[in-house]
Structure 1
Amino acid sequence: MIVGIDLGTTHSLIGVYGADGPRLIRNALGESLTPSVVSVGDDERVIVGRAARERLVSHPQRSVAAFKRWMGSERITALGTHRFRPEELSALILKSLIADAEADLGEKVQEAVISVPAYFSDSQRKATRIAGELAGIKVERLINEPTAAALAYGLQQRDGGGRYLVFDLGGGTFDVSILELFEGVMEVHASAGDNFLGGEDFSAALLNAFLNEHSLSASQLSLGELATLERRIELFKHELARGDEIALELPLAGQNRAWRLDETGFAQLCEPLVQRLRAPLERAMRDAKLSPSQLNEIVLVGGASRMPLCARLVSRMFGRLPLRHVNPDEAIGFGACVAAGMKARDQSLEEIILTDVCPHTLGVNTSRESQHGYTSGVFSPIIHRNSTVPVSRVERYYPTQDHQRAVEIEIYQGESPRVENNVRLGMISIDLPPKRRDENPIDVRFTYDINGLLQVEAVALSSGLKREVVLEKNPGVMTQEQIRERLAALSAIKVHPREQQENIVLVARAERLYEELLWAREDLQGALVRFRGALDLQDRDLIAEHRGEFARFLDAIEAQGYT
């Protein structure tokens, strides 16, 4: 069984392509969106999803979110006695999604198509595949999130084709892709983006403005107070999207703090972030060599695209309103399901060819001759960004000295003219015969395939000697030996059973409310003790009865507000 997965910064989704088309699978709580949050309980068991999100307030030191931004790095997160890399945190989310799918489908999930931001680097894509491997599934195919969104909108089924811009603003990343559809081909012409721009940054702008308004700094707050403030700011942001003036009030640092803001004020506050949204849009249009009038439609996806400022930006830049009729939180998940169906060669799907582009420029470190001698560290591109893949390009270089016996060719990825500002991917060396430099050319060929593998070949033309390397290992990416070690370690970690998720969520929610609401603590404590007592009896019928009562009680407490 092949599934489609949207592994998101804020939420993740899983689904399949069946007889009735793409279908998202609901988790143990009956929800299609699983929060991308991991927590570790006092018993050192791992908690994933909504219960973990609730624990961001009550147990901030044992909980973590937004780790998708760390993919491709060696960052370590300590939760309880455990130490996790970003790939491992993502693998825990994937394991939870897969358990939901297997419970729904009644069969083993063996393979997945996972969506990734179009602007993800080579190392980030490899880290995503490794997360799948650590979760026990095969991930041969990654699909760019804007391409998945296009599939969700059914653009591939439209008669006559056309050109489309997909604006994808998620919780942690921003992507722009320009696609053209013609005669069964969905071709990506250009991709641009910002891997560190998303809904989280707009929330951070609100939080900083709130703190500045009250002459506070984050260091003055306890971890619990900061987590509570972050959660309330996130809810405040969602309410602002309605356009009304919204009030925020809560006790912090020994005082009651009040704040009011409307959507216009929010837009002004976030103007620097809006300008950061504009830059990738302009770059993608330049790279695709298109004017706004040449686009047929503009599609908005990603939960953060619900902010009115996104629609206003698009309308101003392109002179039209965007398409928004597919749930922006679910669009990429639906598209990943369609891609999974295509990979499984589902007969109900028309044959369509998906092409993609290399999101970053790839090249080598060179020295350039000038009147003052040689300037080193000069980036020489071989494959430029937005080249359609698979692609193979060759450039000719020469040694810097006569009778030079060898050259080391350093391989880089990036858009800066100086290699020091780009990402070093690896190196290849080749021996040379002792000749004059102008008689000793070296051809360097880069070949980049649909799966993001880069093959580098160097040929010393005067001797015919050839060297080649396939760059499967990047800085920050785990080795196969590390994968085997961590796979064994993850297998030994205990995870709370799926059937207990409803109970775990209610306990975590009650603990979060206890942290936030001073006036309700006595009632919350009593209700929590009664519910824990029912859990200890392990009587399913009794637990179900108490669970309903407890949930209604928590709903009533939360409805009374944060007074």
Structure 2
Amino acid sequence: MSRPFGIDLGTTYSAVATLDDSGTPRVTRNENGEETTPSVVWFEGPGSVVVGSTAKESAVVDPDSVISLVKRQMGTTWSQTFFGDKYTAESVSALILRNLVDGAVATTGNDSRDVVITVPAYFGQLEREATKAAGVIAGLNVLSIVPEPVAAALHYGVSNDVDGRTILVFDLGGGTFDVSVMTVADGKFHVLVTDGDASLGGTDWDNDLVQLILERYVSETGDVDAAFDEQFIQEITTKAEQTKKALSTAEQKRLPLRRDGNSATIVVTRTEFTDLTRPLLQDTISVTRRALSTLEEKHGITTIDEVILVGGSTRMPAVPEALASTFGWSPKVHDPDLAVAKGAAVFALGRQVHASAERSGNSAAVTAIAQNARLDVSAVAAIANKETRNVLPKAIGVELVDASGRKYIDIVIDQNTAIPLAAPVVRSYGTATDNQTAVEFTLYQQSSPLPSTDVEANAPIDQSSGRIVGFPPRPAGDRIDVAFDVNAEGAVKLVATHANTGQTLNMEVRVAVLSDSEVAAQSKRVSMIKVSG
């Protein structure tokens, strides 16, 4: 039996799911019997790491050897060294992925290494490619990278009639926030708008609570050195998360704290917590307003039929209350911790069918995949009928120089443009100086909340520079035609042509922090590490 896995690689917690014998997505429990695994890695010794709850608990006594929230470093050059070996965000994430899939294989007997990994909808190309690289380093066959709200909506659509409706997915996870709006027609999910903040999530609520608890402890005990005790701060951090969860159902939470002979019992009420974190919640409301404004501007849609809440942080009562009071909605909390992984499992099987159909036709592909996965043909056909179409989460442009010598970004493909593009976007540019014999193109990606022509509001896409060289010297303004294309995965292709000579430059743009050789080297190292839970 071989059924692909769907993986929700979360900032604070991760989950893995696959389809059961009836074709229903089920989350597989880890070796501790938990449906979710803390996205925490403890480097306990040379060649040995621990992932999950034990690693999270170890942060109290060995904080310097524990990595958490690594998802916020994806797409950057961040690294840490343990026992002489350097680990990147990709390789740390690979250790988490290995633990998840090894556990799922042991639990289900399903020996597949085919996976779909989810990412925040607002992740740009660098972050998405870093996530894919993490899967490769873990020894997995990454079928696709799918946005978390799309996965959640797919799962919601399995058990609910959403055809002909406009759905808004409000996804507040442990470390990221997304809001996506999509329409559903004949089993096809078309994302219209996505927005978010890749640095806003439940852990920020935790951090505010940590500061409140620490301030009250110091005020009650006079223990001013507590703020410099790393183990004590880690203990408060753990209790802050527990308090946040408790206050979703209780009106108050008591926290007994002790340090160096000092003790205090801190009481936090739900009202205090809500007031304390109101600015964070307001940030999510602002992003949601922006998404709705874009929806109306681009598509003329002003009515949302259903609002789905996913991500563990949406359990906080203040979240649905704020959405109801601000927009008049009646949000539905939909399996907040597990919906993304379950939807990814559905997407993964559909992705297998679509890839096989390109070679053998849809009917033959459905039959072959059903036989291989030991699933009913009709169940596989129903899943294969669910298609998705996404949008580009961040605008893409090219750096230019105006007549005064000022650099700026020409936004070629706007934020929230449907992908794949129906046709390449063609721009005509002119050389900047007389007798210019080469042109360099560098692609940039939006790094600000809204698209901007300012270079500072954009980030260069790594390894995306290319040159056209060797054309004859001519006056400034010599024409260069550039065609930009984006496929369904968000990969960018650029073809630049010098109009006078016909010389072309084809750039299959590589968007990645790590080179192929670095990915291979890290994969070899990770494969030699003992990973336990």
**Larger radius of gyration, structure 1 or 2?**
1
- Aligned match of 2:325: 316
- Match of 2:445? 413
Q: Does the aligned pair in 2 maintain the 1:457–1:468 contact within 8 Å?
A: yes
Task: Give the CA deviation at 1:254.
Answer: 5.2
Partner of 2:151: 148
- In the alignment, residue 304 of structure 2 is paired with which amino acid? L
Query: Following the alignment from structure 1 to structure 2, what is the Cα–Cα distance between the partners of residues 494 and 40?
Result: 10
Could you tell me which residue of structure 2 aligns to residue 239 of structure 1? 246
Partner residue of 2:165?
A: 162
Q: 2:521 aligns with which of 452, 472, 485?
A: 485
The answer to whether the Cα contact below 8 Å between 1:221 and 1:253 also exists between their aligned partners in 2 is no
For 1:463 and 1:212, locate their aligned partners in 2 and report how far apart those are by CA, in whole Å.
70
The aligned counterpart of 1:402 is 434
| In 2: Cα distance, 1:218 partner to 1:111 partner | 50
| Alignment-derived partner of residue 300 in structure 1 | 309
Q: Deviations over 1:490-520 (max 9, x none)?
A: 1222234xxxx5xxxxxxxxxxxxxxxxxxx
Matched, 1:460 2:482: no
> Could you say which residue in structure 2 is the equivalent of 1:495?
531
How has the CA–CA distance of structure 1 residues 220 and 320 changed in structure 2, closer, same or farther, with 3 Å as cutoff?
A: closer
* Distance 1:159-1:256 versus aligned 2 partners, 3 A rule: closer
- Cα RMSD (Å): 2.2
Judge conservation of contact 1:44–1:81 (CA < 8 Å) in 2: no
Identity of aligned residues (%): 32
Question: Partner residue of 2:123?
Answer: 120
Alpha-carbon distance in 1 for matches of 2:115, 2:459: 29
Deviation at 1:292, TM superposition (A): 8.3
The within-5 A match list for 1:325-336 is 326-336=334-344
Q: Which runs of 5+ in 1 are unaligned?
A: 502-563
Partners of 1:29 and 1:464 lie apart in 2 by 63
In the alignment, which residue of structure 1 is the partner of 2:364? none
Pairing of 1:42-57 with structure 2 (within 5 A): 42=45, 45-57=48-60
Judge conservation of contact 2:214–2:227 (CA < 8 Å) in 1.
Answer: no
For 1:267-306, what aligned pairs fall within 5 Å after superposition?
Answer: 267-289=274-296, 294-306=303-315
- Partners in 2 of 1:337 and 1:207 — Cα distance? 36
Alpha-carbon distance, 1:88 to partner: 1.1
Amino acid of the structure 2 residue aligned with 1:112: V
Query: Structure 2: how far apart are the matches of 1:218 and 1:357?
Result: 50
Aligned amino acid, residue 103 of structure 1? A
TM-score after normalising by structure 2: 0.87
Q: 1:380 aligns with which of 390, 404, 410?
A: 410
Other structure's SS at 2:60 match: helix
Structure 1 residue 375: Cα displacement: 4.5
Aligned pairs, number:
489
Task: Tell me the equivalent position of 1:436.
Answer: 475
Is 2:256–2:263's contact at 8 Å kept on the other side of the alignment?
yes
Deviates more, 1:273-282 or 1:219-228: 219-228
8 A contact 1:395–1:445 mirrored in 2: yes
* 1:253–1:405 distance in 2 versus 1, CA, 3 Å: farther
Does the 8 Å CA contact 1:62/1:80 hold for their aligned counterparts? no
Structure 1: distance between partners of 2:480 and 2:159: 43
Relative distance call for 1:160 and 1:29 in structure 2 (3 A) is: closer
Contact 2:70/2:89, CA 8 A, preserved across alignment: yes
Task: Output the CA distance in 1 between the equivalents of 2:9 and 2:107.
Answer: 19
1:203 and 2:198 are equivalent in the alignment: no
The amino acid across from 1:418 in the alignment is D
Change (3 A) 1:375 1:240: farther
Preserved CA contact (<8 Å) 1:113 1:336: yes
Q: Which residue of 2 aligns with 1:32?
A: 35
Shift, 1:253, TM fit: 6.0
* Equivalent residues of 1:4, 1:338 under 8 A apart: yes
The 3-state SS of whatever aligns with 1:347 is: helix
Give the SS at the match of 2:112. coil
Give the aligned partner of residue 528 of structure 1.
Answer: none
Shift of 1:148: 0.5
- Larger deviation, residues 356-365 vs 1-10: 1-10
Matched residue, 1:189: 192
Counterpart position of 1:349 = 383
2-structure distance, mates of 1:72, 1:218: 37
**Equivalent residue letter for 2:18:** V
Q: In structure 2, the residue corresponding to 1:343 is in which secondary structure?
A: helix
Classify 1:258/1:417 alpha carbon distance in 2 versus 1 (closer, same or farther; 3 Å).
farther
CA distance in 2, matches of 1:488, 1:291: 51
TM-score of the superposition, structure 1-length normalised? 0.82
- How many Å separate the matches in 2 of 1:127 and 1:207? 31
Residue type matched to 1:397 in 2? Y
Deviation at residue 349 of structure 1 after TM alignment: 2.1
| Residue-by-residue CA offset, 1:270-328 (whole Å, 9 max, x unaligned) | 1221222123212211222178851100000001111112112211232022011x320
